[in-house]
Amino acid sequence: MELQEVYGLMDRFAASGLTALEWAWGEERISLRREGTASPAAAPAPVPAARAEEEGEAVASPLVGVFYAASAPEEPPYVTPGARVKKGDTLCLIEAMKMMSEVPAPADCVVEEVLAKDGEAVGVGTPLFRIRRV
């Protein structure tokens, strides 16, 4: 897709009533979100854990993209189960449109479980981690 076509798509999106748009054609992928929706810089909101028998909260993905547990394939993951982290510490990266966005810890907590798999596509609200506040 040429740059002018991307600009045209952005203009039509802005003029529409849509709040989100995802477009894919072969290797090309575009994701557009209207202002007021989750942004890469926004801290993810904790959501209740999916399984009632487990205690804690789930940290959800703030955007659509690919989940990465580490900064590079040869690097160790940012966090593993049992890791104690402080509010704002990086839990993982989400790649969207070739841009990496850090997902910060919403509070001082212990990572109970990593719910997403490295390289897995995630959407807005997809649970990534189960945490316990400390």
93 in a structural domain: yes
Query: Looking at residue 97, what is its pLDDT?
Result: 84
Predicted TM-score (pTM) of this structure: 0.62
The pLDDT-based confidence of 49 (bands split at 50, 70, 90) is very low
Residues 89 and 127 in one domain: yes
* Number of Cβ atoms within 10 Å of the Cβ of 23: 13
How many domains does one find in the chain? 2
Q: Looking up tokens 């810089």, which residue turns up? A: 41
Residue 60 pLDDT > 80, yes or no? yes
8 in a structural domain: yes
Query: Looking at residue 38, what is its pLDDT?
Result: 45
Residues 129 and 85 in one domain: yes
The 10s digit of each residue's pLDDT in 79-118 is 999 999 999 999 999 998 888 999 999 999 999 999 999 9
Range of the domain at 10: 3-33
What's the longest Cα–Cα distance across the chain?
Answer: 52
64 in a structural domain: yes
113: domain CATH number is 2.40.50.100
Residues 24 and 75 in one domain: no
